[in-house]
Chain A
Amino acid sequence: MRIRGFFLFRRYTVLTFILLLLLIALVLMSLRVKQRKGLDFFDAFLMELCSPFQKASTFVIKTVHGVFQNYIILIHLQRENAMLKQKIVELQRENSQMRETAYAHERLKGLLQFKGKNLSSVIAAEVIGQDPSSWFKSVTINKGEKDGIKKGMAVISPEGVVGQILKTAPYHSTVLLITDYSSAVDSIVQRTRAKAIVEGKGENRCQLKYLLRSEEVMIGDIVVTSGLGGNFQKGLMVGEIRKVDKKEHGIFQYAELVPSVDLTKLEEVLIIAESPLPPPEERGKKMKKSPPGAGPKKK
């Protein structure tokens, strides 16, 4: 090869190449850490190139899985189960909304704006792939910039909050799940109205951060979005508290919650294209309390 002519020894060529390749990887890492911008053309191109494989594979797997489940094993039970699950989801959602309304009326603040409660614009998308790595929690969906998806948009399912759009390509996007360690959602405990930030724990668990020790929370309490982040509307179910650890000292207490959505079995999601603004008084609070905020944490 001609390039080798520039080098004195062949073994140095290889060594130089290795060092150069690793250096490029480090430079790329450094750029990503520093700039944090969305995918550029090359990234989007690669994503579009590989996503059809995922789409085709998901289709085949789902078809085979569906045939296996629907026609071979327990046909009736499966249908009944799906129907009951759907019913539970509807009731849960209804229950959560009713509680929200009741609390809001009790406090006489008029914070619930029913106009704002209705999602003005949602985009339905199908999950076509999971995160290839075990350290991170994300999914790939079959909707992208051409469908109106933008970075930072909230992603939900009928059961509750799923995550936020992390990367976008023309026809596909990556959703950062709330269980990812770098995810953060501004939330409140529904019963006590205690404010906290829901952060991912890596597994199918989240933790409540900045939850004041003075707040009374207990196992079974429901956590909903506060609406302060700007991306999520108020009152969307995030999860249920499963563990509370209140030490004798310190400002904050620790609580762990299980997301209301089974993120390991996600198939379809909704992306909130237009999020209603929180009431003016809450926006004022948000301006003062900027650090935790909702959205992907600065990694």
Chain B
Amino acid sequence: MKRIGYSLFLGILFLTLQTTLLPYLPIQRIRPDMVLILILYWGLSFPPVSGGILSFFLGYLMDLFSGNSFGLYTFSRPLLFYVAQFFKGRIYLEGFLSQFLFVFLFALFEGLLILTLLSALNPVALNNLYPLLFTFYAPQSFLTGLIAPILFFLLKKISFLFFPQYGNGIKTRERG
């Protein structure tokens, strides 16, 4: 329970930083998605029930603070959490490159998912959003992937510091 409370606080903190600190960065239009990194980390280190609820809640909060009135993140974030859970123990995630690729591909996948849902739910054509996927969303996913190994490392350290009984977070490929 303590771990869930701490993770929830961390989630709100990440969301706060994403809405307040990141817009002050020099490259304003391309902001890394810290909340996505956190959810993917949870996907690799949390059990399905508590992690799923946390991801759902954080997605819900993201919808609340965004101009999106459909509730797209309430759906996409737990979905990504479970897809990440599926890959837990199946792929090697210890190196920088593998963690970068993992997060980069998930960020791209979410972009496509959001775009598909927006197109499906909107009665008006959204042709002007499609080019953004390449000119804007791909570089942002790339940046999210780049900072993911650093955040994974920090989250692992913090988790180990406060909750050593749960191990050090990311589990690598199980052998045997």
Which A residues are closer than 8 A to B by beta carbons?
A: 14, 17-18, 21-22, 24-26, 28-29, 32-33, 36, 39, 43, 46-47, 50, 53-54, 57-58, 61, 65, 128-138, 140, 166-167, 174, 176-177, 180-182, 201-204, 207, 264, 296-299
Contacts and interface: CB of A to CB of B under 8 A. Distances in A.
Given A25-B56, A264-B23, A207 B128 contact: yes
Task: Name the prevailing secondary structure of the A interface residues.
Answer: mixed
B74 A25 contact: yes
B67 A128 contact: no
Given A65-B24, A201-B128, A203-B29, A57 B67 contact: no
Given A25-B78, A33-B70, A203-B29, A132 B121 contact: no
A299 B121 contact: yes
B172 interface: no
B126 A138 contact: no
Given A17-B48, A50-B12, A174 B67 contact: yes
A180 B69 CA distance: 12
Interface in B56-85: 56, 59-62, 64-75, 78-79, 82
Contact of B67 (A18, A53, A137): A137
Nearest to A38: B69
A156 B115 CA distance: 29
Contact of A133 (B20, B24, B68, B69): B68
A57 B15 CA distance: 11
Given A17-B49, A25-B78, A28-B74, 18 more contacts: A21-B56, A36-B69, A57-B21, A61-B24, A130-B19, A130-B20, A132-B66, A134-B31, A134-B136, A135-B118, A135-B129, A135-B132, A135-B137, A136-B66, A166-B67, A174-B66, A182-B67, A299-B121
A181 B129 contact: yes
A205 B73 CA distance: 24
Task: Name the prevailing secondary structure of the B interface residues.
Answer: helix
Given A17-B48, A61-B21, A132 B35 contact: yes
B12 A129 contact: no
Contacts of B75: 22, 25-26, 28-29
13 contacts: A14-B49, A17-B52, A25-B56, A28-B71, A28-B74, A29-B72, A57-B17, A130-B23, A167-B64, A174-B66, A203-B132, A298-B123, A299-B69
A130 B67 CA distance: 10
B154 interface: no
B13 interface: yes
Contacts of A50: 12, 15-16, 61, 64-65
Interface string B142-165: 000000000000000000000000
A105 to B, nearest CB: 38
Q: Which of B21, B67, B79, B111 has the most CB of A within 10 A?
A: B67
B140 interface: yes
B116 to A, nearest CB: 12
Contacts of A46: 60-61, 64
B73 to A, nearest CB: 7
Contacts of B101: none
Given A133-B66, A136-B68, A174-B67, A264 B28 contact: yes
